[in-house]
Amino acid sequence: MNNNRFYIERQEARESNARSYPRKFPICVAKAKGVHLTDVEGKDYIDFLCGAGTLALGHNDNDVNKAMMDLLQSGAMLHGLDLITPIKDEFTTTLLESLPEDFARNSKVHFCAPAGTDALDAAIKLCKFATGRRAVISFSGAYHGMGQGPLAMMGNLHSKEYIPGLMGDVYFMPAPYSYRCPFGVGGEDGDRIAAQYFERMLKDPESGIVKPACVVIEPIQGEGGVIPMSANFLKQIRRVTKELEIPLVFDEVQCGIGRSGDFTAFEFSGIKPDVLCLSKAVGGSQPMAVIVYDKSLDKWGPGIHAGTFRGTQLAMAAGNCLMKKVRDRKFLDDVKRKGKIFMDHFTSLKKEVEVIGDVRGRGMMCGIEIVDPKSKPDIIGSKSNGGAIAAEIQRKCVENGLIMEKGGRDGAVLRCLTALSIPDTDLNKGIDILTEVIKSVDKSAR
């Protein structure tokens, strides 16, 4: 059936009301290659979403597909729980060799059930088991997954507002966010105050916060609106957690595996976490989640944390191939170059239109914050969230052949999570489509 509406209506009748992406992108995808999608009606789209960053090399990368086909044709076991296999050994070796040496040499790897939320659940359990403590510190704007534990650590209220029985003893700290600074100052001052607040609250015997089992943070917030944490802020968080002997967990489910322009998003800061959570791209397009953690935390025993699909050999073959390509310094430098093209362009466009409030990101994790041009600026000059305007931009992008996701407060941040390997021609074409749509919507929004 060559009709998008036919499939959309069947899905609406048969699938959960919780489905989300088909509401924003009402198409039925027939083919995918690189950053190109083709729907059943034959229309082509440039994909700036790529599985929310999962497809670091785009759809159907030739080398990744060959790695999976070779495994399928080899007679190897496809599902092994946590039994050892040659491809699992190679995957683990490649992963550890790709991480910063001073972190990897004292670390162990745990294979989780196959989603990012499972990695966060495992990390929390690991830290609670090792420390004997129950509390968890998270940050405003955080997104850590949809399980009962990770959901409790989520900043966004919409997804958890009506869900009873979430994990208790979760305390939130303000995250630095220069454009909408929680302290009304922005910039380096906002970073400094956020770090000082964090330290004072954890050291104050009247703060109401018991000593936590761990502190969990995204080096670059993703769903929260592409908000990079500065090196200085991360260093201060690491200093305090070290001093107080609190395990520090970095959630790099979305921002890791080359997305930031470094293999891990934390390494630019010169520090290392106690636990690193990885998923999405680490499986090379297939379901995979792992945590890499300091050996001193390895206090749990056999079977304490398991998962049926922690032995997905196909994901290990695909992920092994992907990591070997992504970790190359020339590849990563090119990621930074392409991210700069995107952010420089829209930083320049910001001077011409009124609906762009901020442009930010690192590497190929880029965000454009859309604002309501008719609103009154706040104390630091930031206008109100333009969630409805961002939704209109997203809708018109789809009409013009560009898949672009939103995030952040009120869904007002347009996010670029396209393939790290995107050719310049496709990157520029997508930028052109987005530019024309923003200019068009800007005229009607004033």
**Nearest residue to 284 (alpha-carbon basis) of 71, 70, 67:** 67
Among candidate residues 251, 280, 414, 267, the one with its CA nearest the CA of residue 332: 267
Contact 363, 261 (CB under 8 A): yes
Note the maximum CA span of the chain: 66
Instruction: Pick out the chain residues at pLDDT < 50.
Output: none
β-bridge mates for residue 139, sequence order: 173
Report pLDDT for 124: 97
Give dist(CA 157, CA 140) in Å, integer: 10
Amino acid at 225: G
Token pair for 198: 């964090």
Q: List the alpha helices (DSSP H) in 287-328.
A: 313-326
The per-residue pLDDT for 446 is 79
- Domains annotated on the chain, with CATH: 4-60+329-445 (3.90.1150.10), 76-326 (3.40.640.10)
Residue type (1 letter), 247? P
Asked if 51 and 59 touch (Cβ cutoff 8 Å), the reply is no
Q: What is the CA radius of gyration of the chain?
A: 22
> 229 with 178: CB under 8 angstroms?
no
**pLDDT value of position 159:** 87
Whole-number pLDDT of residue 161: 86
Q: Is the pTM of this model over 0.85?
A: yes
CA torsion sign for 72, 77, 83, 84 is: negative
Q: Which of 288, 204, 190 is nearest to 240 (CA)?
A: 204
Contact indicator for 166, 151 with CB cutoff of 8 Å: yes
Half-sphere exposure of 228 (CA within 13 A, CB side): 24
pLDDT in tens, 102-139: 999 999 999 999 999 999 999 999 999 999 999 999 99
Phi-psi region of 169 (alpha: psi -120 to 50; beta: other; left: phi over 0): left
Strand partners, 31: 38
Q: State pLDDT tens for residues 315-326.
A: 999 999 999 999
Phi, psi dihedral angles at 184 (to 5 degrees): 70, 25
CA separation for the pair 177, 233 (Å, rounded): 11
- Are the CB atoms for 309 and 296 separated by under 8 Å? no
